Amino acid sequence: MRFTCAMFVVGCLTGVVQAQAPDTVFLEDLTWPEVRDALAAGTTTVIIPTGGTEQNGPHMVLGKHNYLVRHKAGEVARRLGNALVAPVMAYVPEGDVDPPTGHMRFPGTITTPPEVFEQVLEYAARSFRQHGFLDIALLGDSGGNQMSQAAVAERLNREWAAMPVRVHHLTDYYPGPGDAWLVTQGERAEDVGSHAGMHDTASFMFLDPSKLRLDKLAPGVRGDPSGVVGNPARSTAEYGERILEMQIAAAVRQIRALRDSSRR
């Protein structure tokens, strides 16, 4: 059989079309018809990840929460099988601007007032309700996000009580069981720490060490000018793999449970 130029072009175009078939859970990587079709096929859960842009000591990048929560939200959505992931909210409450408090005392941190954060989160949820999503899960990777997430979920669930839509503030994901588990492995609580310590450092050692400055791993305490509370030098990739898995599994379990119990 003799192949013509036209047949060659058609074959190439067919390959391109096949290569463009979406294989992603991330909303921003889809077209609107693909989201419409996913909703029609039963993908009615959406995860809104909230991160933050904040200091994480001399050894870890400012976007720590954003990188980690995007990865974990993606894994949660894949395991659920009928969920998508919204873009990460990277602008969250991090302290006052003037005089600076909290993480705002360190260059590079970006803050928003809690009421501004809540309004953006609320309207993201309202957008998803309008499009037909039924379960909107708020996955917060930072302690400063939790109170606002809870407030938004409570407010919208009260307003939407007669509707089938529910907003879920996930409480089992953050900080998750990782810190307590590290102590069971023989680590001291003061080394595990509470900010830029072992938990997130270990997660990046497993997931993406390029986000770390391994020559700057050093312990710190609260009030320390380094911004570290804990001893990141005790971290290992093996710890990080286990911590990530525990957080992902906790979020999957809670979303599945809330999708059922919140409508009883």
pLDDT > 70 fraction of the chain, expressed in percent and rounded? 92
155-203 pLDDT, tens digit each: 999 999 999 999 999 999 999 999 999 999 999 999 999 999 999 999 9
Q: Is residue 199 part of a domain?
A: no
Say if 180 falls within a structural domain.
Answer: no
pLDDT at 17 over 60: no
Q: Is residue 67 part of a domain?
A: yes
Return the pLDDT at 5: 52
Q: What percent of the chain has pLDDT over 90?
A: 91
CA distance 73 to 89: 12
- 8 Å CB contact between 81 and 63: no
Residue 78 has pLDDT above 70, yes or no: yes
Q: Above 80 in pLDDT, residue 60? A: yes
pTM: 0.92
pLDDT of 19:
52
Task: Name, in order, each residue with C-beta under 8 angstroms of 35's C-beta and a sequence gap of 6 or more.
Answer: 27, 84, 131
Task: Say how far apart CA 69 and CA 90 lie, in whole Å.
Answer: 10
| Residue 207 falls inside a structural domain | no
For the chain, the domain total comes to 1
**Could you tell me if residue 221 is inside a domain?**
no
With beta carbons less than 8 A apart as the criterion, state whether 40 and 131 touch: no
**What pLDDT does residue 21 have?**
60
pLDDT for 14? 53
The range of the structural domain enclosing residue 139 comes to: 24-175+247-261
DSSP 135: E
Per-residue pLDDT, 63: 98
pLDDT for 146 equals 97
Structure tokens belonging to residue 47: 């995860």
pLDDT of residue 22: 82
pLDDT at 26: 98
Q: What is the CATH number of the domain that holds 110?
A: 3.40.50.10310
Helix 237-261 crosses helix 198-207 at what angle (to 10 degrees)?
Answer: 100
Instruction: Give the mean model confidence (pLDDT) for residues 16-22.
Output: 60
Judge whether 119 lies within some domain.
yes
pLDDT per position as a tens digit, 79-102: 999 999 999 999 999 999 999 999
Helix H or strand E segment including 138: strand 135-140
Whether 3 has a pLDDT exceeding 90, the answer reads no
The mean pLDDT value of the chain amounts to 94
Q: Mean pLDDT across the stretch 219-226? A: 95
Q: If DSSP codes are grouped into helix, strand and coil, which group holds residue 109?
A: coil
Residue 46 pLDDT exceeds 80: yes
Model pLDDT for residues 240-253, shown as the tens digit of each residue: 999 999 999 999 99
How many C-alpha atoms does 171 have within 13 Å on its Cβ side? Answer: 7
| Domain-located, residue 193 | no
Please give the average per-residue pLDDT across 132-144, as a whole number: 97
